[in-house]
Structure 1
């Protein structure tokens, strides 16, 4: 059975950058499942699978369509229980929900401002127009003004990682001795920044950097298969 994962990309279709797509990619690899990546730009998403989604990732697994990275992880856990677990039980699911909330509020908002012009510049012209209009409506200001605020986010970004840094002093992954979906959530955010922006958010010698490097090497170096910007 061929699985297809629709992944958000810019002009270079070999560089999927969405943090949510990366969560799904590592989840599929964690389960040992083969899949093809179908690159798609922002404006093409509504036409996917006869209008099945407004967001990516979107996974087609045989006749089944699943969108939203967390729902994809839950689907994989339920459908393939004989393969390595993404959550290691109900407690792991609850932990992952918390980690996702923290990542989206503390990390995604900052990275979105830090990298906003890099994201825009990586897109095809039709997607650039969509991205500018939708983000300027969301923020109530120009992309350039948002990017100015992003410079302040860059200066204090390391402090946002302190909860992760504290945890990783006593274990190699958020999941313990091996990664779980919670690791892929945070990895996805930092991988997004790594792929789309030349700004470097992690410092050498930091335990978070060491953890991120370990994540890049997981599943045959899947994360490192796309080079840094």
Structure 2
């Protein structure tokens, strides 16, 4: 396990915001993993329009066209200094970190964790995203705001303001599903606060990272998101691994 105050072993490319902290949920998964393992790293924040040009200039290979990504380059991307290796996207990064820094171990997949992640993505995330994403523009620089608005409004065929319409009805409609998924998170509550019990897994980082992301974006949406049992338990249990935000 690397000492957190040593020279950085990894450069983490992250998404910039005006608050100067991490707010991307997919980057938070990796940041939580690095913080938990106490791996020393340095963050390089990139504005949205600069992600592609910067990573391309560094020689990072673009996403495979078959991957389904809308763009060639995304964050998180890491540069592992010892091997001079660049890795893009959270899943392969997590696999690399776990294999390279196995102590303390983090279980990357589990049957229960996969079930919870699937239900979050299908039942809860659409409402969560619809409330958080349009408000994201409020923490972006003017240049990034222009890029964000044009790209998101083109994708959805609506203005950001229109995307927020009907918000209360959407949250009410998903309330039962949110509670059900939250209870599933508490399956092993007798053993500890995490999905699998006493130790965090990557699925916990998936949940906590999403919640921390929305907390940075909008406190009101965050408070609404942690009302159900399970979500708040995991978020609070992961707080020690969210102290390094930049």
**For the superposition of Structure 1 and Structure 2, which TM-score range results when normalised by the shorter chain?**
0.7 to 0.9
> How many positions carry a matched residue from both structures?
218
TM-score by length of 1: 0.83
CA 1:18–1:3: 2 relative to 1, 3 Å: same
SS at match of 1:5: strand
- In the other structure, the counterpart of 2:152 is 135
CA 1:23–1:205: 2 relative to 1, 3 Å: closer
SS at match of 1:163: helix
- In the other structure, the counterpart of 1:122 is 139
Q: How much has 1:184 moved relative to structure 2?
A: 0.3
**Residue pair 1:117, 1:144 contacting (<8 A) in 2 also:** yes
- In the other structure, the counterpart of 1:29 is 35
CA deviations on 1:155-193 (whole Å, 9 max, x unpaired) are 445434322323315422113211111100111111111
- State which drifts further: 157-166 or 122-131: 157-166
- In the other structure, the counterpart of 2:214 is 193
Distance 1:203 1:32 in 2: 27
Instruction: Decide which of 11, 14, 17 is 2:18's aligned counterpart.
Output: 11
- In the other structure, the counterpart of 1:177 is 198
Moved over 6 A (4+): none
Larger radius of gyration: 2
SS at match of 2:22: coil
In structure 1, runs of 5+ residues without a counterpart are: none
CA deviations on 1:39-71 (whole Å, 9 max, x unpaired) are 112111012231625110111111111111111
TM-score by length of 2: 0.77
- In the other structure, the counterpart of 1:166 is 184
SS at match of 1:66: strand
SS at match of 2:93: helix
Distance 2:49 2:159 in 1: 20
Q: How much has 1:93 moved relative to structure 2?
A: 5.3
Distance 1:26 1:78 in 2: 16
CA 1:139–1:203: 2 relative to 1, 3 Å: same
In structure 2, runs of 5+ residues without a counterpart are: 1-7, 63-72
Question: For residues 18-167 of structure 1, what are the structure 2 equivalents within 5 Å?
Answer: 18-49=24-55, 50=57, 52=60, 54-62=73-81, 63-81=84-102, 83-87=103-107, 92=109, 96-156=113-173, 158-161=175-178, 162-167=180-185
Aligned alpha-carbon RMSD (Å): 2.5
